[in-house]
Structure 1
Amino acid sequence: MGEHTAPLFPQEVIDEYAALGIDLPALFSAGHLGERMGVTIVEAAADRVVGTMPVEGNTQPYGLLHGGASAVLAETLGSIGSMLHGGANKIAVGVDLNCTHHRGVRNGLVTGVATPVHRGRSTATYEIVITDEQDKRVCTARLTCLLRDIPQPEAG
């Protein structure tokens, strides 16, 4: 659905995950639902995550951007922020997503920006604002993620 570029993770974060055997840019720039929908992460840090998604291919029967597509973009961006906040020893699991759709979009790219509302030890909540190419708000979302410890392999 479009060209994917490597997300802009801070180098120290890439190194932290690489030490655990995780290729962080590859994890968030390829594969699965986000790739099928054309989601591209263009900036990623615990304080701000930015991504884009094409409207084309992600519409409902009336030709407007599907609300579920906005939800996918929002949850993707908020989950990345939560994961980066939690650090390499935590996984972020979405437990609540709320989306308010403000206006329809028929073409172009939408851009989502996730910023933290709350960053604690066990949960993180992000507000995600999705805008169209004219910088008009399309959707406002809020995602809360549970931060769980990564299970450690048993010594054996």
Structure 2
Amino acid sequence: MEFDKERILAMCAAFCKNTLMETLDMEFIDAGPDFLKAKMPVNPKVHQPMGLLHGGASVALAESVGSAASLMFINTDKLEVRGIEISANHVKAKRDGMVYGTARIIHQGRSIHLWEIRITDENDSLISICKLTNMVMPRR
């Protein structure tokens, strides 16, 4: 089956409605056979009390893009994805602008997907690096 970038981005946009992704203004912007990329504005909505990007918002971006990326590899009529573990290292502060989360597959098994999600800024500086484990299971 040939990779269909526009179909993937449309699917991601559709499932953002009325979710945390919509609340935080996340937008899926690029996709390839082994990656998915989303962006999120850094503004008071995602700040911690000192006016910096909240680590939890970074993790929300990472889990959102990593979980959506697993959907590219499964039959969504029969299977669904659950994030079961996420870890994050925050390496640089960010006050404003935009951050980008890019998920790249590390391991694609039948029941487990392991992703690395790099969160960068407009200058491609690393803000956070995350690892997400997704479980693939029969649709309920």
Category of TM-score, reference length = shorter chain: 0.7 to 0.9
TM-score of the aligned structures, taking structure 2 as reference length: 0.88
What does residue 58 of structure 1 align with? 46
Q: Cα gap change, 1:25/1:117 in structure 2, threshold over 3 Å: closer, same or farther?
A: closer
Matched, 1:118 2:111: no
Highest Rg: 1 or 2?
A: 1
Quote the RMSD (CA, aligned, Å). 1.9
* 1:117-145 deviation line (CA, Å, top 9, x unaligned): 00000010110000011211000001000
| Alpha carbons 2:12, 2:28 under 8 Å: kept | no
Shift of 1:25: 4.6
- Residues 72 and 25 from structure 1, CA distance in 2 versus in 1: closer, same or farther, beyond 3 angstroms? closer
Q: Which has the higher contact order (CA 8 A, sep 6+)?
A: 2
Please, which runs of 5 or more residues in structure 1 have no aligned partner?
1-7, 15-22, 152-156
Q: Does residue 68 of structure 1 match 2:65? A: no
Q: Deviations 1:1-48 (Å, cap 9, x if unpaired)?
A: xxxxxxx8444x69xxxxxxxx82553343210111010011245511
Change (3 A) 1:141 1:25: closer
Q: Secondary structure at the match of 1:86?
A: coil
The one of 64, 68, 90 aligned to 1:80: 68
- Please give the alpha-carbon distance, in whole angstroms, between the structure 1 residues aligned to 2:17 and 2:32: 18
User: Which amino acid in 1 is paired with 2:27?
Assistant: T
Bigger share in strand: 2
Q: Counterpart amino acid of 1:91? A: E
Structure 2 runs not aligned, ≥5 long: none
Identity of aligned residues (%): 33
The number of aligned residues is 135
Take 1:31 and 1:96, find their aligned partners in 2: how far apart are those partners?
24
Misfit runs of 4+, over 3 Å: 8-11
1:26 and 1:134 mapped to 2: Cα distance?
25
Give the match for residue 97 of structure 2: 108
SS across alignment from 2:46: coil
> How far, CA to CA, are the matches of 1:25 and 1:39 in structure 2?
10
If the length of structure 1 is used for normalisation, what is the TM-score? 0.79
